[in-house]
Amino acid sequence: MIKNYLLAPGPTPVPPRVALAMAQPIIHHRTPQFSRIFAEAQHGLKRLFQTEQDVLMLAASGTGAMESAITNLFSPGDEVLVINGGKFGERWGKIATAYGLTPTEVRVPWGAGVRVDEVRAVLDRQPGIRGVCVQASETSTAAVHPIEDLAALTRERDVLLIVDGITAVGVFDLPMDRWGIDVLITGSQKALMLPPGLAFIALSERAWERSATARLPRFYFDLARERAALAQHTSAWTPAISLVLGLRESLAMLFEEGLPRVFDRHARLAAATRAAGRALGLQLVAPEVPSPALTGLYTPSTVDGGKLVAYLRDCMGVTFAGGQDHLKGKIVRIAHLGYMGVFDTLTAIAAFEMALRRFGHNVPLGCGVGAAQEALMAALPE
Ligand SMILES: Cc1ncc(COP(=O)(O)O)c(C=O)c1O
């Protein structure tokens, strides 16, 4: 038997409590019973997003919510600024182009965060820009972008800040209302510890005002229609009922732990993994702005990272993510977000060391694990 450990940055493991909640018999969604559950989940989502606004639930993966942000907020030909520091930043550009917008890209070297002065310069040069699309955590490079500083820039102009928080919401502090984020998005299969299938999106007051005049076509992802349904404690279309049952449970788990502790846990696991990487003599993909959601490490030049990831998965039962595009075969990405604790991280590092040895890289076994254990000692109770 090979026991499996899902340590990739989404989908993430589902806690037994959440799995059991989702195993309940299906109830009908146009009933007071479901409306109660829906309302409870809504209450929790607002706390999670740190917003007074409605948080809409879509039966889609995260990309569905990204697409809905574009179609609900813009009109054909509108100029948007897309921050492209990896695969998901690139996706903003692709969606905008597919819908006939005029995107301007700020390209960021992979593994870096965008420079705010560069964004300011583009906004000054192109006053027609109506929105900035960015990732809070760019999962393909394990880097974060400076959302608070970007929000300070966009707040003072008629420019919406649209944040893909798919590996950020519930991972680290991202207070939507306090910072003035206009659109915040996440998906179920990340920090929310659910299977894929739900996407979440909240809009600021001024984003709702913009949506009223935006002219791109929309139907399934009509956010105003979804908001009107939510006011009746229901959804516009048949909701993913089982996932909503699981969501209520996963939100309860997050609030039992307390958001500050959840954020600390992610930060600690990430710091321990970085310490292990240093002890193993490996370079970080995002040394300046590492995401607490996941850690990207370059594999040694003598090791094919793609084969290493496949070996870890198929022969050791440990699933990491590899690299994409020009990082394909060159990095591993180890997740910390969601239902992850100290011993998931130690398992990840132990398996990584053993696989590196198996691929001929001569690391002393235990040196990464030891460094991570040292870093994690502080987290143990007295
Ligand atoms: C930052 C980020 N944005 C967007 C997506 C796309 O989400 P989905 O695959 O749920 O459509 C992902 C998925 O990993 C992601 O990490």
Which segments of the chain does DSSP mark as H helices, in order? 16-22, 32-49, 62-73, 87-98, 116-125, 147-155, 176-179, 205-213, 223-231, 241-257, 259-279, 305-316, 342-358, 367-377
Give the residues across from 50 on adjacent strands: none
Evaluate if residue 144 carries a pLDDT over 90. yes
- Cβ neighbours, 10 Å, residue 225: 16
CA of 144 to the centre of ligand 1 (A): 14
Residue among 157, 144, 165 nearest 50 (CA): 165
Per-residue pLDDT tens for 35-60? 999 999 999 999 999 999 999 999 99
CA–CA dist 131, 99 (Å, integer): 14
Residue among 215, 203, 251, 193 nearest 43 (CA): 251
Residue among 271, 309, 318, 317 nearest 291 (CA): 271
Per-residue pLDDT tens for 246-264? 999 999 999 999 999 999 9
Per-residue pLDDT tens for 235-248? 999 999 999 999 99
Return left, alpha or beta for 366; rule: phi > 0 is left, psi -120 to 50 is alpha, else beta: left
Q: Is the peptide bond before 11 cis (omega within 30 degrees of 0)?
A: yes
What is this structure's pTM? 0.98
CA–CA dist 145, 158 (Å, integer): 21
CA of 274 to the centre of ligand 1 (A): 23
pLDDT bracket for residue 378 (50, 70, 90): confident
The dihedral through the CA atoms of 225, 69, 338, 292 has a sign that is: negative
Report CA Rg, the chain.
Answer: 21
Q: Which residues contact 21 (CB under 8 A, 6 or more apart)?
A: 245, 246, 248, 249
Q: Tell me the domains of the chain and their CATH numbers.
A: 5-11+258-379 (3.90.1150.10), 16-255 (3.40.640.10)
Binding site membership of 67 for ligand 1 (Cβ less than 6 Å): no
pLDDT bracket for residue 216 (50, 70, 90): very high
Nearest CA to ligand 1 atom 7: 62
Phi, psi at 202, each rounded to 5°: -125, 145
Evaluate if residue 379 carries a pLDDT over 90. no
Q: Quote the percentage of the chain above a pLDDT of 70.
A: 100
CA–CA dist 183, 235 (Å, integer): 19
In three state form, how does the secondary structure of 118-150 look? Answer: HHHHHHHHCCCEEEEEEECEECCCCEECCHHHH
User: Measured from the CA of 63, which atom of ligand 1 is nearest?
Assistant: 11
Binding site membership of 166 for ligand 1 (Cβ less than 6 Å): yes
Pairing of the two strands 129-135 and 55-59: unpaired
Roughly how many angstroms between the first and final C-alpha of the chain, as a whole number?
36
To which H or E segment does residue 6 belong? strand 5-6
Binding site membership of 164 for ligand 1 (Cβ less than 6 Å): yes
Binding site membership of 347 for ligand 1 (Cβ less than 6 Å): no
CA–CA dist 149, 143 (Å, integer): 16
